[in-house]
Structure 1
Amino acid sequence: MKFKSIPGALVMAAVMLSALAAHAGETLQRVQRSGVMRDILVDSYPPFGFVDASNHYAGFDVDVAKAIAQRLGVKIELAAPSWEVVVGGHWNGRWDLCVCSMTPNTERARVLDFPVAYYASPAVLVVNKAETRIQSAKDLTGKKVGVGLGSSYENYLQKNLVIPNTPPIAFPFGAVQAIPSDETVAFGDLALGPGVRLDAVISDLATAKARINQTAAFKIVAQLYAEPNWIATDKGDPEWNEKIRTTLQSLRADGTLAKISQKWLGEDITKNLP
């Protein structure tokens, strides 16, 4: 029986390898064949992704995705499905990539691939300008903190955030009441005053600066941890991942990424990438 099982195992291995080979490059072939790249964005995350006055998607992430499509010689279709659907993976061909300011973590890496980082901007602690009790992360114990629904900031407050290939993150606070919501809603609640609805918000530095430029209601009191943001793809297409990686690197090398960053953020948030 021992020897009879070997051919069966070899057949099973061949079938598995055949299935993997059939899947490899599927996304790239689909994009090239259709002439369309379907990208996911978050449309409530200015200046990275939002709906402008003309009812069009706009922002840093949108322009990066458009630059990738242009470099590939294809058109782009943009979509903004719910974040839970995006990070759940198993897109089944509905979308080709997500240029959506996503930070990898161990849970997301189980169902998504992260072929390349495209900017780095730290997570920061934002409070109302009248706030005096909160000066750093250690002051968050017992406080109500707004975070994006399903975001890495929620994982941070739950003390279970692990970002691959980055130093361990410190959690210098006790129990915190995380209030997940749309980030625009969170900042609107924080603008009402210290402790009215929220005591603080955790956001990306570039996003927080954009909010502060819009209104003087907020201030940044601390940087919390390094936050690399990567392009995400559905699991299991190494050829597509390599194509996205090399295309993004070419956009960085010729200064296109830096120009997009300067346009939307007034600084180059791509310069600190490895």
Structure 2
Amino acid sequence: MIIQGSRFTIAGLALACAFSAQAAETITAAADVGYPPFASVGASGEFEGMDVDIAKALSRQMGTEIRIIDQAWSTTYAGLNAGKFDMVLSAAMITEERAQSMLFVEPYGDATYQFVQRASDDKITSPENLRDKVVAVNRGNLFDRWLTERQDQYGWSINRYDKNSDAVQAVASGQADAALVYSASAGDAAKKAPMLTVSDFIINNGEVYGYSVRRDDVELRNELDAALECIKQSGELADIYRKWTGLEPLEGGAVTTVYPGYGAPGYPNYDPSEHTPDCR
């Protein structure tokens, strides 16, 4: 079962028979609601998005209630370490530094990025196509850094916005020729606005994103990891990705790959222990 915090409530899933009052305690999951397609507030006033659907699937596999609360991204990790919630339900880039201070569940998505562009323009197949043009970006994020590092090489102008959605809107309104965002966000934008499309050019640095828990909560990390493996094996995770992005998962990527052990291989606090998930 998945429950939303505050005044938002998702109708109870038909899971009551799967667990009793003696089942594990509710997991409180913090999400950065307002970042589609991962998590946002829908027209009905309920939380919706890729992470919300994944939480439902994990809840079913674990037989445990998951309660989603909205948490500003800037205070997410401080809140996790302070014990205000149990897990971070957001597409957080897995990095060496972060993995030293928390436990990551195995990756569930690929942190590839692409340009959102107008469908009426020639498809962007290379950064060269944006030479001397205007590119919009969310101020200060990794996409901003990528563009800034190559600005002298390609001569593009960078328009920076406080929100990812504003950068995409700049393309739709003609203020920018393209916006650089996560592939999932690019697919979501094009899905919602037919006047937009996703570039053929894709940036893949092998980076992945994943959910996380406190460093001492090994049991929860392992339970989430096993549940995530189940929905990868069944194809449910890939279906959720397609639903919210309109894109196919990266071939051989994190959406479909079941990793050995628990956590993110190659990063601190990874546990290589072999296991077979008990899937429902």
Alignment of 1:216-227 (within 5 A): 216-221=194-199, 222-226=201-205, 227=207
Identical aligned pairs, as a percentage?
A: 24
Cross-structure match for 1:255: 235
Which amino acid in structure 1 is aligned with residue 190 of structure 2?
Answer: I
Cross-structure match for 1:15: none
Q: Is the 2:143–2:181 Cα contact (8 Å) retained in structure 1?
A: yes
Tell me the TM-score normalised to structure 2 length: 0.67
Structure 1's 48 and 129: CA in aligned 2 closer, same or farther, altered over 3 A? same
- Residue number among 47, 52, 70 corresponding to 1:62 in the alignment: 52
1: CA distance, partners of 2:202 / 2:225 = 29
Q: CA deviation at 1:35?
A: 2.1
Structure 1's 90 and 73: CA in aligned 2 closer, same or farther, altered over 3 A? closer
Alignment of 1:177-192 (within 5 A): 177=158, 179-192=160-173
2: CA distance, partners of 1:111 / 1:177 = 34
Which amino acid in structure 2 is aligned with residue 225 of structure 1?
Answer: N
Q: Does residue 212 of structure 2 align to residue 232 of structure 1? A: yes
Which amino acid in structure 1 is aligned with residue 168 of structure 2?
Answer: F
Cross-structure match for 1:48: 38
Q: Is the 2:23–2:63 Cα contact (8 Å) retained in structure 1?
A: no
Structure 1's 233 and 124: CA in aligned 2 closer, same or farther, altered over 3 A? same
Q: Does residue 182 of structure 2 align to residue 201 of structure 1? A: no
Kindly indicate whether structure 1 or structure 2 has the higher relative contact order, using CA contacts under 8 Å at least 6 residues apart. Answer: 1
Structure 1's 191 and 273: CA in aligned 2 closer, same or farther, altered over 3 A? farther
Cross-structure match for 1:116: 106
Q: Is the 1:157–1:176 Cα contact (8 Å) retained in structure 2?
A: no
**Which moves more between the two structures, 127-136 or 75-84?**
127-136
Q: SS of 2:67's equivalent?
A: strand
Q: Is the 2:232–2:258 Cα contact (8 Å) retained in structure 1?
A: no
- Structure 2: gaps of 5 or more residues: 1-21, 250-254, 260-280
Alignment of 1:18-33 (within 5 A): none
Which amino acid in structure 1 is aligned with residue 256 of structure 2?
Answer: K
Q: Is the 1:144–1:179 Cα contact (8 Å) retained in structure 2?
A: no
Structure 1's 57 and 131: CA in aligned 2 closer, same or farther, altered over 3 A? same
Alignment RMSD, CA only? 3.5
Structure 1's 156 and 234: CA in aligned 2 closer, same or farther, altered over 3 A? farther
2: CA distance, partners of 1:174 / 1:108 = 34
Structure 1's 150 and 54: CA in aligned 2 closer, same or farther, altered over 3 A? farther
Structure 1's 181 and 94: CA in aligned 2 closer, same or farther, altered over 3 A? same
Cross-structure match for 2:93: 103
Structure 1's 216 and 263: CA in aligned 2 closer, same or farther, altered over 3 A? closer
Which amino acid in structure 2 is aligned with residue 256 of structure 1?
Answer: E
Q: Is the 1:41–1:98 Cα contact (8 Å) retained in structure 2?
A: yes
Comparing both structures, which one devotes a greater share of its residues to helix? Answer: 1
- Residue number among 236, 250, 256 corresponding to 1:271 in the alignment: 256
1: CA distance, partners of 2:86 / 2:197 = 37
2: CA distance, partners of 1:34 / 1:149 = 41
Structure 1's 177 and 264: CA in aligned 2 closer, same or farther, altered over 3 A? closer
Q: Once the two structures are superposed, what CA deviation does each residue of 1:188-228 show, in whole Å capped at 9, x if it has no partner?
A: 122111xx2x4431112232122112223333332122442
Which amino acid in structure 2 is aligned with residue 241 of structure 1?
Answer: R
Greater radius of gyration (CA): 1
- Residue number among 199, 212, 216 corresponding to 2:190 in the alignment: 212
Count of residue pairs brought into register by the alignment: 230
**Which moves more between the two structures, 116-125 or 105-114?**
105-114
Q: Is the 1:40–1:79 Cα contact (8 Å) retained in structure 2?
A: yes
Q: Once the two structures are superposed, what CA deviation does each residue of 1:64-102 show, in whole Å capped at 9, x if it has no partner?
A: 112222322222211221111125565311122223222
Structure 1's 256 and 215: CA in aligned 2 closer, same or farther, altered over 3 A? closer
Structure 1's 76 and 139: CA in aligned 2 closer, same or farther, altered over 3 A? same
